[in-house]
């Protein structure tokens, strides 16, 4: 079996009946981006042939921690924390737009992940980050990544989180317009 990796995708498309491009985040486990194309199409069926990737990364490093995908039977006890995805929202004065900042965080619980996210420059420079009723902080959406993986990945794999023993480079962010058939 090839080495399995955790991928994070920013997907885009303009579903029928919409006036602007819509976006969503998809996490998948696979040996390559190409291998995950069918799962992406299943995740967002309304995208039909117009769905594309606006950004992607292989998730291996988050804030001094190493993230690896291991078979469920090889999982070690998690004492380093959990991997969280946060979608932060805010506004800038005079601009007709809600800006979003996608963040990965390693923390023991949601409150700790939110506290860490509030240290980001997004909150310090946003004219008015808004408040989400559910968490009482400036977060639009928040999930433990393991919970939002496709069921097939959850049934086979575990996201192992370990403190990195050495300073590492951050994950490479691939930005642009990528058609699904280009992989």
8/43 Cα distance (integer angstroms): 13
The answer to whether 82 and 107 are in contact (CB under 8 A) is yes
- Token pair for 5: 């990796």
Please report which residue ranges of the chain form alpha helices under DSSP H.
33-43, 110-117, 121-125, 145-148, 151-156
Q: Is the pLDDT of residue 128 over 70?
A: no
44 pLDDT above the threshold of 60: yes
Q: Above 80 in pLDDT, residue 129?
A: no
Q: Cα angle vertex 177, ends 67, 127, to 5°?
A: 75
Contact (CB, 8 A) for 102 and 10: yes
Stated pTM of the model: 0.89
pLDDT digits (tens, 9 = 90+) for 140-168: 899 999 999 999 999 999 999 999 877 66
Q: What confidence category does residue 123 fall into, taking pLDDT thresholds of 50, 70 and 90?
A: low
Closest CA to 12 of 3, 2, 25: 25
Label residue 28 by pLDDT band (50, 70, 90).
very high
């Amino acid at each position: 079996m090839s080495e399995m990796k955790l991928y994070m995708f920013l997907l885009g498309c303009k579903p029928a009946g919409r006036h602007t491009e819509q976006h969503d985040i998809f996490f998948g486990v696979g040996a390559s981006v190409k291998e995950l194309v069918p799962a992406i199409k299943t995740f967002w069926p309304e995208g039909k042939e117009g769905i594309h990737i606006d950004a992607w990364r292989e998730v291996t490093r988050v804030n001094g921690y190493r993230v690896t995908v291991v078979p469920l039977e090889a999982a070690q006890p998690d004492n380093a924390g959990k991997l969280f995805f946060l979608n932060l929202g805010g506004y800038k004065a005079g601009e007709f737009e809600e800006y979003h900042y996608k963040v990965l965080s390693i923390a023991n619980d949601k409150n700790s992940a939110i506290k860490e996210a509030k240290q980001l420059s997004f909150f310090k420079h946003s004219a008015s980050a808004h408040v989400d009723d559910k968490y009482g902080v400036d977060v639009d959406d928040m999930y433990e990544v393991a919970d939002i993986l496709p069921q097939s990945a959850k049934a086979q794999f575990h996201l192992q989180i370990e403190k990195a023993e050495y300073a590492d480079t951050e994950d490479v962010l691939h930005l642009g317009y990528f058609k699904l058939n280009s992989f």
